[in-house]
Amino acid sequence: MNELTPKIRPIVPQSLKGNVLSQINKRKKIMKDIRNYSAIAAVVVAFIFVPIVLGNIAQDKATDFIEQSISESSDLKSLVIKYLMRNPLTYNPDVIELDSKMNEVTGEIIFDEPNVWKFENKNKWYIYDGERSYWYSKVYKDCIVRINMDTSDLGRFNAMFLKSSTILEAIQQLAKDKKANLEMQTNGDSIKLTLKYKVRSIDKSRFMMGDIFGWYNNNLINSFLTDCRQVYVFNKKNKLLKSFDISVYYNNKYLTILKSKSIEYNSNIDKEKIIEIPQNINKRFLKSPLVNMTSKQAVKYILNDLKNDSTSTLINRTLFYGANEGIDYKKLYGLDILEIGEPYKTENYEGELVPVKIKLKNGEVKSLNIAVSQNKDKNKRNWLLDGGI
């Protein structure tokens, strides 16, 4: 055993001991710092991650609440609503003019089948008696009567009240499509939902209802993009809508464009009174000229009408043809028809496309594919102009 015992015991220099101990202490400090930094990093990550998680939870909670409100609204019998809107008295009801003052509208709806309703302000009114719709404005001499109801005359916002849950379903869709950020707050007996998202318009000072509720075209050329804020307040107990306030960011501030004054449910509405048409008003029954035609014949009729700008009136365009207001007809006035091709169908459009070649008044030659579809009436023979012009 003695032979295995080292004869010389190594002597470690004091300087080497100090260096080794110093390196060990440095390593301990580094490891401690790493642990501290890791803890700090975890806290930072938590601060970054928690709002995202909470945001998703809030979004889900809000959409769940909207679902409950839709369910509670399904049994409503009637609605009386008064609201303010920046809709000039002489404009179609789906136009919002940001430089206009707020005008009051009253809507009375009975949700029976078929439902009946009346929307009215001091310059125009819209009535549906279960069979026919009546549109009257002081701008025109006659009361225009449709045998088949067309809610497009009401404008998107008004039409959203024709069913008890439609406006809630529109809010729900915005949330599901992730087009809007939702915030939900409880205050006493009320629940407030705030939606914030971007809206587009072809005109900086004018919006259509479709722009406000997210039905805009993302590919609009030279479109105006701004922020929209919608605030809805619900009764916490019965989940029904109590009020709303909709605004857009305009001229460096949020400008209110739609605001409720009062909402009453299950009121005793006198049905005969709201569908009563004044006796001293002339009625003009509309019959579309595009009935019992082929799509090619319908397009030819429309183009022939546009050849003479004196006949291409607003009434003809929007009421006879069902055309949307986004079509610029003025550039087509005085056109010449060079060629009308054979209609064809595409996979994503239920109507038909009719290729045409026209010469504009300024001499420019254009090739277009005009889209027309058949009205959803019993006969399905009334063509409507959808676009392409």
Distance CA 86, CA 84 (A): 7
Q: Which of these ranges, 20-24, 225-229, 331-335, has the smallest mean pLDDT?
A: 20-24
Report pLDDT for 95.
82
Given a cut of 90, whether residue 238 has pLDDT beyond it is: yes
Residue with tokens 């063509």: 383
Q: What length does the chain have?
A: 389
pLDDT in tens, 159-200: 778 888 888 888 888 777 667 788 899 999 999 999 998 888
What are the distances in angstroms from CA 333 to CA 4, 12, 297, 356, 365? 116, 105, 19, 16, 14
Q: What is the CATH topology of the domain spanning 73-274?
A: outer membrane lipoprotein receptor (LolB), chain A (2.50.20)
* 102-105 contact pairs (CB < 8 A, 24+): 102/256, 102/259, 104/261, 105/158
Q: What is Dmax (Cα atoms) for the chain?
A: 134
Q: How much is the pLDDT for 10?
A: 43
| Owner of token pair 């206009």 | 100
Given a contact cutoff of 8 angstroms between Cβ atoms, the answer to whether 228 and 212 are in contact is yes
| % the chain with pLDDT above 70 | 71
**Amino acid residing at 25:** N
- Give the pLDDT confidence of 279-307 residue by residue, as tens digits: 888 887 766 778 788 999 989 988 888 87
Predicted confidence (pLDDT) at residue 50 exceeds the cutoff of 50: no
| Residue in this structure with the two tokens 């009546």, named with its chain if needed | 134
pLDDT higher at 324 or 386: 386
Which residue has tokens 């101990």?
Answer: 21
CA–CA distance, 290 with 35 (Å, rounded to integer): 78
The answer on pLDDT for 42 being more than 50 is no
CA distance 51 to 49: 6
Q: Between the CA of residue 135 and those of 10, 92, 270, 326, what are the distances in Å?
A: 111, 11, 20, 21
Q: What pLDDT sits at residue 150?
A: 55
Checking if the pLDDT of 367 tops 80, the result is: yes
Mean pLDDT of 109-124: 88
Q: Which residue has the tokens 């209802």?
A: 209
Distance separating alpha carbons of residues 153 and 165, to the nearest angstrom: 20
User: Is the model's pLDDT at 6 over the cut of 60?
Assistant: no
The sign of the torsion formed by the CA atoms of 311, 313, 317, 320 equals: negative
> What residue ranges in the chain does DSSP mark as E strands?
78-85, 95-97, 103-110, 116-120, 124-128, 133-137, 142-146, 181-187, 190-201, 206-208, 224-235, 241-250, 253-265, 282-285, 336-340, 344-346, 349-359, 365-374, 383-387
- How far is Cα 244 from Cα 261, in angstroms, rounded to an integer? 9
Per-residue confidence band for 117, with pLDDT thresholds at 50, 70 and 90:
very high
Is the alpha carbon torsion for 114, 144, 139, 274 positive or negative?
Answer: negative
Beta-sheet pairing, 142-146 with 282-285: parallel
